[in-house]
Structure 1
Amino acid sequence: MTRWTLWARPRKAVAFLLTVELLTVAGAVWASLNQSITRRELIIFGAIVTIAVVTAEVGRRVERMRRRLAETPHINLTSVWTVPTALLTTPSLMVATAMILYGHLWLRSWYRINAARPYRLMFSGTTVVISCLAARAVADLAPAEGPLADVNVTGLLWLLLVIVTYTVVNSVLIAAALALDEDDRSLTRLVGTWQDNNVEFATLCIGALTAVLMAWRPWLVALVLLPLYVLHRSVLVRQLEHAATTDGKTGLLNATSWQALATNELARAKRHGTALCVLMVDLDHFKWVNERYGHQAGDQVLRAVADTMREVVRDYDLCGRFGGEEFVILMPETDLTRGTELAGRICAQIRNLPIAETTDGAPFDGLALSASIGVAAYPDAGEDLEEIMLAADNAMFAAKDAGRDQVRAVMPSRAPERRSPSAAE
């Protein structure tokens, strides 16, 4: 028990997780008291669990790969089965369904995956149980015999309210746990991306549809199996595309994808006769950071710098990492003056970047970050992407020669000659 990674987490996070789990157990027991289980409910429970396990086995390899690639809170498809169990059976059978499905996920899909920790699995199952209990409580408030009694507008609205209740409760619990457990409290980390939440909504809608079919014509549930499998694979394809185009350490575009997108942006600028600006950003003395604090701390600094740049630029600007401590930014419809101004803001924010300690808790004593930035604009600095990047690169070396921690722009009439890369060392 003392070897569990749970005990290495912050005390507030451990207290929160254990409190939620204990309250869930108590709530599930209380909700199950004095509730008899009918033969029909047992049949529904058995059918749902059987179909769910078979479906999970079919998509096991997809789920393993998705779990390995997940960078935000991982969204599995168990709610397709836990939601109808919650709406059509008793709380005790719903809890049993969640335990069986998450136990199967752990044994068959998540076992020996580094990101899948037992305490996280238990908490995920706990949030599902609480969310299902909340959803069932809302469904019980519906008029007549509940949202599944009749297929009409009122029933649809109540089902939508059930889905929203499940989503809100689940998201709040997971976000609170992550906020207490991790230093990264960005909105994307706490609640996932918009695409992640779309997957969750789609899964819950399929779950609600499954509940309707189970209550109306159970054999029609077979119609949701193929869409569910396709949804599972399509999410994996999106994750693979993301992994192939982004830098694993910073989340920025990698060099290959940045150049492909930048080439398209330059072609668009030529067609429309608009300006375009390229920034080459190189961290000063970054080798010293790695040597003094270690490469893990260096990766932490790179992520912080990447987040800082994303805060300054627009959503449609292209931020990429070219390897090591060098970054590149392309800003469409931006002239040299505006690009230089934004480069100055990036330079200032990197200089004042607050990083108190490493992820291991060691202090960053004496850490003073700075960056040298070169700016070049189309069409003055060149007609193709290579020329513009070369001009910006030369300006960046000029900034280093001038003392580092500053911005240098390529003026139209006097682009600097190519400098030796040794100046960046």
Structure 2
Amino acid sequence: MTAWMLWTKPRRGVAFMLAVEVLAVALSAWIIAAQPVTQRDLINFAAITIIGVVATETSRQVERMRRRLAGTPHVNLTSVWTLSAALLTSPSLAVATVVLLYGHMWFRMWRRITGRHPYRVVFSASMVVLSCLAARGVADLAPTGDILDDITAVGLAWLVLVILVYSLVNSGLVALAMILNRDDTSIVQLLGTWQENSIEYATLCIGALTAVLLAWRPWLVALIFMPLYVLHRSVLIRQLEHAATTDQKTGLLNATSWQTLATNELQRAHSNGTECAVLMVDLDHFKRVNDQHGHLAGDDVLRAVADAMREEVRDYDLCGRFGGEEFVVLMPEIELTAAIETAARICARVRDLRIENTTTGQPLEGLRLSASIGVATYPDAGKELDEILLAADNAMFAAKDSGRDQVRAVAVSRAPERRSPSPAE
């Protein structure tokens, strides 16, 4: 049944994906009939395909793990070989390279990964085919002739243009597919993070260098394998680090990583003689959200609050989720007054949040959110992180005792003992 998962997608998304696939097939058929294939093209095609399969086999386990961890448009590094084929062989053989490499990856890696359905592989391969054909079309328009024969300054600029066209066609098709298939797609998901995009362009640059080496000194291509393998593993390590330090529901720092980074910030503040502030943010009556609207709605609330917090603080402030409905923010180099103003803005943003029903797209009826926030500063509330957290926590409970949906702050030389929450927290 997984082979038919395509039909569970929105009709507009299905229509777009089928249109891309039909276009890729039609252009491929026309090119195969119209474009001749030389012996040199066949030799380059065989070399690129064999090298691509060997490279895939050496990084198979790494790629499988990356697929499980990826939460943004995935860069599988195969464009090293597909771009090389687009530049170095005939367009028809470039299409064949894409089909063979993607077919190999499906049977050797992706078919065993949950959620990696055949229709997605076919669509991905179709997008790469169109990217290769677009890149080759631009390469053929180069004023210097074959851009791989003599890399002048103009040829180099044209090669960069080829890379940009390949990337823009592929990324644009991915973004359109996500827009048409999902209603909750964020800008980051559409465009990818800077890290993901930098990986893609690094991969395409290696692909261009591979084509140049194959055209000039084929045996030097062996030097590509080690950098490519290290790049693959470094990307996996970064993804593992992100998974280990990030709260999955909100995308904020998890409690352990937040405390580690916050401790480092306090040490830096001690060395520089600067102030820090800690905000303890707790959603009011969050249990009612889960009871009345379900846990999925509760997860949507947590994500929305996390996004609102990120937008109200500075880029270098540390936002974390402590667990349940409790969040925490460390703000370096800030005075108490400015920290209170930030907390008040967060309170207002949470108050204005409207959460939509994922089924109907309408705001959830009767759902009104608010937060109680406690603020404490270093060094007034304490010299250690635990002391400052305790002071902020007590200030947060004071906000709850005063009616909720407000900010309370402390600035004492010694943090008091933690109070127990009121019964109606």
Do the aligned partners of residues 423 and 377 (structure 1) sit closer, same or farther apart at CA in structure 2, a change above 3 Å counting? farther
Q: Secondary structure at the match of 1:111?
A: helix
Task: Give the distance between the partners of 2:362 and 2:246, measured in 1 at CA.
Answer: 29
Number of aligned residue pairs: give it: 425
Residue 85 of structure 1 and its aligned partner are, at CA, apart by 0.7
Residue 359 of structure 1 and its aligned partner are, at CA, apart by 6.5
Task: Give the distance between the partners of 1:414 and 1:263, measured in 2 at CA.
Answer: 18
Do the aligned partners of residues 120 and 225 (structure 1) sit closer, same or farther apart at CA in structure 2, a change above 3 Å counting? same
Structure 1 stretch displaced more, 414-423 or 313-322: 414-423
Residue matched to 2:283: 283
Aligned residue identity for 1:402? S
Q: Determine if the alignment matches structure 1 residue 329 to structure 2 residue 291.
A: no
Residue matched to 2:419: 419
Q: TM-score, normalised by structure 2?
A: 0.95
Aligned residue identity for 2:273? G
Q: Contact conserved, 2:144 with 2:155, CA < 8 A, in 1?
A: no
Matches within 5 A, 1:195-214: 195-214=195-214
Aligned residue identity for 1:180? L
Residue 87 of structure 1 and its aligned partner are, at CA, apart by 1.1
Unaligned runs of at least 5 residues, structure 1: none
Residue 179 of structure 1 and its aligned partner are, at CA, apart by 2.1
For residues 125-147 of structure 1, give each alpha carbon's deviation from its aligned partner in whole angstroms, at most 9, with x where no partner exists.
12211111111111001123321
Q: Contact conserved, 2:144 with 2:154, CA < 8 A, in 1?
A: no
Q: Contact conserved, 1:68 with 1:115, CA < 8 A, in 2?
A: no
Task: Give the distance between the partners of 1:66 and 1:125, measured in 2 at CA.
Answer: 18
Do the aligned partners of residues 97 and 424 (structure 1) sit closer, same or farther apart at CA in structure 2, a change above 3 Å counting? farther
Do the aligned partners of residues 402 and 119 (structure 1) sit closer, same or farther apart at CA in structure 2, a change above 3 Å counting? farther
Matches within 5 A, 1:151-190: 151-190=151-190
Q: Contact conserved, 2:381 with 2:413, CA < 8 A, in 1?
A: no
Residue matched to 1:66: 66
Residue 225 of structure 1 and its aligned partner are, at CA, apart by 0.9
Matches within 5 A, 1:49-198: 49-198=49-198
Q: Contact conserved, 1:32 with 1:90, CA < 8 A, in 2?
A: no
Q: Secondary structure at the match of 2:372?
A: strand
Do the aligned partners of residues 332 and 210 (structure 1) sit closer, same or farther apart at CA in structure 2, a change above 3 Å counting? same
Q: Secondary structure at the match of 1:77?
A: coil
Residue matched to 1:301: 301
Alignment RMSD (CA, Å): 2.0
Task: Give the distance between the partners of 1:128 and 1:265, measured in 2 at CA.
Answer: 45
Residue matched to 1:390: 390
Residue 227 of structure 1 and its aligned partner are, at CA, apart by 0.9
Residue 415 of structure 1 and its aligned partner are, at CA, apart by 6.3
Q: TM-score, normalised by structure 1?
A: 0.95
Aligned residue identity for 1:165? V
Residue matched to 2:45: 45
Residue 8 of structure 1 and its aligned partner are, at CA, apart by 2.3
Aligned residue identity for 1:243? A
Task: Give the distance between the partners of 1:103 and 1:326, measured in 2 at CA.
Answer: 47
Aligned residue identity for 1:184? D
Q: Secondary structure at the match of 2:19?
A: helix
Residue matched to 1:218: 218
Q: Secondary structure at the match of 2:327?
A: strand
Q: Contact conserved, 2:391 with 2:410, CA < 8 A, in 1?
A: yes
Q: Contact conserved, 1:86 with 1:132, CA < 8 A, in 2?
A: yes
For residues 168-210 of structure 1, give each alpha carbon's deviation from its aligned partner in whole angstroms, at most 9, with x where no partner exists.
1212111122122223333211111111111111100110011
Q: Contact conserved, 2:382 with 2:415, CA < 8 A, in 1?
A: no
Do the aligned partners of residues 264 and 2 (structure 1) sit closer, same or farther apart at CA in structure 2, a change above 3 Å counting? closer
Residue 318 of structure 1 and its aligned partner are, at CA, apart by 0.2
Residue 267 of structure 1 and its aligned partner are, at CA, apart by 1.0
Q: Contact conserved, 1:171 with 1:191, CA < 8 A, in 2?
A: yes
Q: Contact conserved, 1:375 with 1:409, CA < 8 A, in 2?
A: yes
Q: Determine if the alignment matches structure 1 residue 356 to structure 2 residue 385.
A: no
Aligned residue identity for 1:49? T
Q: Contact conserved, 1:347 with 1:372, CA < 8 A, in 2?
A: yes
Aligned residue identity for 1:153? A
Do the aligned partners of residues 413 and 233 (structure 1) sit closer, same or farther apart at CA in structure 2, a change above 3 Å counting? closer
Unaligned runs of at least 5 residues, structure 2: none
